[in-house]
Amino acid sequence: MNQLDLVRELAEKAETKIVMLVADGLGGLPLEPGGRTELETAATPNLDRLAARGTSGSSIPVLPGITPGSGPGHLGLFGYDPLEFKIGRGALEATGIGFELGPEDVAARGNFCTLDAAGLITDRRAGRIASEESFRVVERLQAVKIPGVETFVRPVKEHRFVVVFRGRGLDGGVADTDPQAVGVAPLAPAPLSESARRTAEVAEEFVRQARAVLADEPKANGMVLRGFAAKPALPSYAELYGLRAAAIAVYPMYKGLARLAGMTLVGQPQSLDEQIAELARHWEQFDFFFLHFKYTDSTGEDGNFAAKVGRIEELDRALPGIERLGPDVLIVTGDHSTPSRLKSHSWHPVPTLLVADSCRPDGLAAFSERECLRGGFGLFPAKHLMLLAMAHAGRLGKFGA
């Protein structure tokens, strides 16, 4: 019996509220041997107080040593095994710009490129045209019409765009058309299986019409398509957990990931204060709240240790505003580590804290990578966190008699 079937069977209704605060890229590293991590350096009186009351641990997003992207990182936190459920590149890119994929959609990432008179690629990124120019080119592509299929083209940034085909029987099994070289023509979209033949034909027709429309463009007169993918079939929070789940996020990527899990997007917050205001405003309507805080990751990616410390302290100051609402379960975690020292996501476990009245105390006096190693949840796969959330919220029945 797998975890999803188990939780489906055991989930019970209760009048309890769960808040999961995800500080993106929370975990870190010291800058030099013997030093402290960002979290150990930050003044975090609220997190430390909560750690003394709750139970802590170190979550492993995928497997030891595996560095996750945002997609697998969040899937784990939401209780889906990231090795089982994958979000294809095209679907993730569409999700990241806030395009809501439907069940009949196949999305692909597009790059504009420059073709010569013979149709051979001279610039794989169309001179990295400015986003504004790309917006204009994408607008021209709205003229493309394919019988029996709805087509959506959306700009991303510079030469990058997303195309979504919507229609019955479409299939993401189409090969990339990027030859990864100049001096050659883009490849034809080739089906990887019989069931993707129609989708490949649709993509080919799209490219044919697009080429005609863009023939007079000086730079963006061609394109390559990559990462064809349908929306992943994730069971929803409502169906799995019986939770009315809300997502309160600033950035489209995390809104999109939450939508894939069936969460309802709440508000248009632009800051943590606004996110907490939305939380308060929608408190009665939902049982589960996913709050996403981006800046612990972006400062880490920038390699800005001090700025990451500052963002952790900002997060800490926001906690009383959440506590005031009286969540039955309050979780603080991250989707992965982003040590400023590495300027990138990493594989290191993520400090994780759960506070509820039913917590077994583990004697921690602070919230940090090192302290969490001695925490009551130990080192645990991130996909188990939702089981712990549900249990501490009194929302999981007994397994077996």
What residue ranges bind a second copy (CB under 8 A)? Answer: 1-3, 6, 10, 27, 29-30, 33-34, 37, 53, 58, 62-73, 82-84, 86-87, 89, 92-93, 342, 344-349, 358, 360-363, 369-370, 373-380, 384, 387-392, 396-401
Please answer whether residues 277 and 3 qualify as being in contact, where contact means their C-beta atoms are separated by less than 8 angstroms. Answer: no
Q: Which is nearer to a second copy, 277 or 391 (CB)?
A: 391
Q: Which is nearer to a second copy, 73 or 222 (CB)?
A: 73
Q: Which is nearer to a second copy, 32 or 284 (CB)?
A: 32
Least distance in Å: CB of 388 to a second copy? 4
At 326 the three-state DSSP class reads coil
Please answer whether residues 28 and 337 qualify as being in contact, where contact means their C-beta atoms are separated by less than 8 angstroms. Answer: yes
Least distance in Å: CB of 384 to a second copy? 4
Least distance in Å: CB of 19 to a second copy? 17
Q: Which is nearer to a second copy, 3 or 122 (CB)?
A: 3
Q: Which is nearer to a second copy, 283 or 380 (CB)?
A: 380
Least distance in Å: CB of 96 to a second copy? 8
Q: Measure the CA–CA gap between 112 and 132, rounded to whole angstroms.
A: 13
Least distance in Å: CB of 319 to a second copy? 18
**Closest to 178 measured CA to CA, from 238, 245, 113:** 113
Q: Which is nearer to a second copy, 218 or 378 (CB)?
A: 378
Q: Measure the CA–CA gap between 181 and 336, rounded to whole angstroms.
A: 34
Instruction: Could you list the beta-strand ranges (E) of 98-190.
Output: 105-115, 121-123, 150-157, 160-166
Q: Measure the CA–CA gap between 134 and 21, rounded to whole angstroms.
A: 35
Least distance in Å: CB of 400 to a second copy? 4
Helix (H) or strand (E) holding 58: strand 55-60
Q: Which is nearer to a second copy, 72 or 191 (CB)?
A: 72
Q: Report the alpha-carbon angle 259-261-316, nearest 5.
A: 80
Least distance in Å: CB of 238 to a second copy? 19
**Buried b or exposed e, range 233-263, using 16+ CB within 10 angstroms:** ebbebbebbbbebbbbbbeebbbbbbbbbbb
